[in-house]
Amino acid sequence: MAHPASREPVPAQSKSLWQSDILPTLSLGMPLAGAQLAQIAINTTDVLMIGRLGAVELAASVLAFNFYMLLWFFGMGILQAVIPLAALARGQRRPRDLRRAVRMGFWISVIFSVPVWIVLFFTESILLLLGQEPELARLAGIYMRVLQWTMLPALLIMAIRGFLTVMERTQVVLWATIAGAVANAILDYLLIFGHFGFPRLELVGAGIASVLSSTTTFLFLLGYALLHPKLRRYNLLGRIWRSDWPVFFQILRLGTPIGLTIVAEGSLFTASAIMIGWLGTVPLAAHGIALQIASITFMVPVGLSMAAMTRVSLAAGRGDRAGIGRAGWTSLWVTTFFMVCFAIVFWTIPETLIGLYLDFADPEALEVLAYGVSFLLVAALFQLADGGQIIGVNNLRGLGDTTVPLFYALFGYWVVGISLSLGLGFLAGWGGVGVWLGLAGGLASVALLANLRFARREELGLVRI
C-alpha cells in the first residue's frame, strides 16, 4: 500500500503535502513513544517491588540492571540498523531484501547474546573488582544469573519491532509492550513475594518475571507478523537457518556506530550524576528526580525519531528526494512543538512536578525541592536540544549515514558537554545548574551539527538515488 508521502510533489500542492506529512509522522511515531513509556513502566515496577524487599536488595538490583542495560543499549543500537535497511527495501519494492534484513537481525540477536551471557554470568566478580561491597555484589550476581536470559528476547523484540515499524504497524508494538508491562507487574507480585501459593523467590523471582514477560512479548509480536494477512507473505521465518552474510555485515556496519552513539550518550548522563554527586546527596537526589521527569517526556521525540528514520528511508527507497526532506523536517518541527509544550509545563509548575516524588515529612524535602526546581527550569532548554539532536541523528541514519553522527556525538557529549558542565558547574561556581546547562550545550551542539548535515545531504552525496 502506498504511503501518503509517496506521491510525487507538484508546486501547487507543496503546502498541502507538507501538512499531509504531519499525520503520518504522528501515527507512526506516537505509538512507539507510548511503547517506550510502557517500557519505563516495566522498569519502574521492578524498582518499586524490589524496593519492598529492602535497601540492600534494591541497591543490588540497581547495580545489576545498570550493567545489563549498558550491554543491551549497545545491542539495541546495532539492531536499529534493521529499520533503514528494511525501509529502503520496502520503498524499492524488494520484499526478499526486507525479509533478509529482519532475518539477519534475528541472527545478530542470537550471536550478540552468547558472549554477553558469558560476561553477565561473572557479574559478581566484576562488581567486586570495581570495589562494590561483597554482599551487594553477591546479590547482584544472583539476580543477574536469571536476568541475563532476558537479553535474547529483548533483542529479538527490537528486530521484530523494526519490521513492524517499517510496515507501519506500530499500534501493535504499543499494545504488546503494555501487555508485557502488565504481565511483568503480575509476575513480580507473585514471584518476588510468593503470593497465591507461588514460591517467594525475591530477586530471582524478579529476574524470572523479566524473562517470561519479554519472551511472551516477542512471541506475540512474532505471531502477529506471521499471521496477519498483509504481513505473512514476507514469511519472516522462512529459511531462517540460511545465512546472508552481506546483509549481516551491512547491519553491523550501520548499527555499530549507532550502538556506540547510544552508549556515549548514556555515559554522558552517568558522568553528570557523578559530577552532581560531588556537590552532595541532596543535589544528587534532586538531579535524579529532574532527570526522571525529563526522561518521561523524552519518550515522545524517541518515538518520533524512529518514525523519522523509517519515513526518510522509505522516501529514499522510492527515489523521492522531496519526500526525504519533508519526512525529516516535519519530524523536527513536530518534535519541537511537543518539546516547547513540555518546556512551558516545566517552567509553569516545576514545584508540582518535583513534589510528586517527595515526602514532605522528610526534613530535607524542601531543600531537594529547591534544587529540583532549578534543574527542571534548565531541563526545558535541555529537552529542546535533546529533541533536536535525536531527530537530526535519526534523519541521517535513515539515509544510512551512521559513522559521522557518531563523531558528532562523541564531540558534542564528551568535548562540549563535559567541558561546559565542569566549567560552568565548578569553575564558574554555578553548581548543579551549571552542570545541567553543560548537558544542554552538549546536546545542542549535536543537534546543530546533525541537522546542518541533513540540510546538506544532497551536497554531501548522502542521497544516492
To the nearest 10°, report the CA torsion of 287, 290, 293, 299. -70
DSSP character string of 208-243: HHHHHHHHHHHHHHHHHHHHSTTTGGG-TTTTTT--
* Residue found by looking up cell 533478509 in the block: 100
pLDDT string in tens for the chain (465-residue length): 334 444 444 443 444 555 568 888 888 888 988 888 888 888 778 877 887 787 778 778 878 887 888 899 899 999 999 999 999 899 888 989 999 999 999 999 999 999 999 999 999 998 888 777 888 889 989 999 999 999 999 999 999 999 999 998 989 999 999 999 999 999 999 999 999 988 899 899 999 999 999 999 999 999 999 999 989 888 888 888 888 899 999 999 999 999 999 888 888 887 888 888 888 878 888 887 888 888 888 889 999 999 999 999 999 988 889 899 999 999 999 999 999 999 999 999 999 988 887 777 777 788 888 988 999 989 888 888 999 999 999 999 999 999 999 999 999 999 999 999 999 999 999 998 999 999 999 999 999 999 999 999 999 999 876
Q: How far is CA 4 from CA 20, 294, 311, in A?
A: 7, 33, 10
Q: Is 321 in contact with 8 (CB distance < 8 Å)?
A: no
Q: Is 190 in contact with 198 (CB distance < 8 Å)?
A: yes
pTM > 0.75: yes or no: yes
Q: How far is CA 288 from the centre of its chain?
A: 18
Instruction: Pick the closest to residue 443 from 308, 261, 254 (CA basis).
Output: 261
Q: What angle do CA 172, 49, 123 make, to 5 degrees?
A: 90
C-alpha cell at 305: 525519531
DSSP character string of 5-40: GGSPP-GGGHHHHHHHTHHHHHHHHHHHHHHHHHHH
Give residue 16's pLDDT: 55
Instruction: Pick the closest to residue 457 from 336, 291, 328 (CA basis).
Output: 328
Q: What gap in Å lies between CA 259 and CA 51, rounded to an integer?
A: 31
Q: What gap in Å lies between CA 123 and CA 367, rounded to an integer?
A: 36
184 C-beta neighbours (distance < 10 Å), count? 25
Q: Is 148 in contact with 121 (CB distance < 8 Å)?
A: yes
Give residue 266's pLDDT: 81
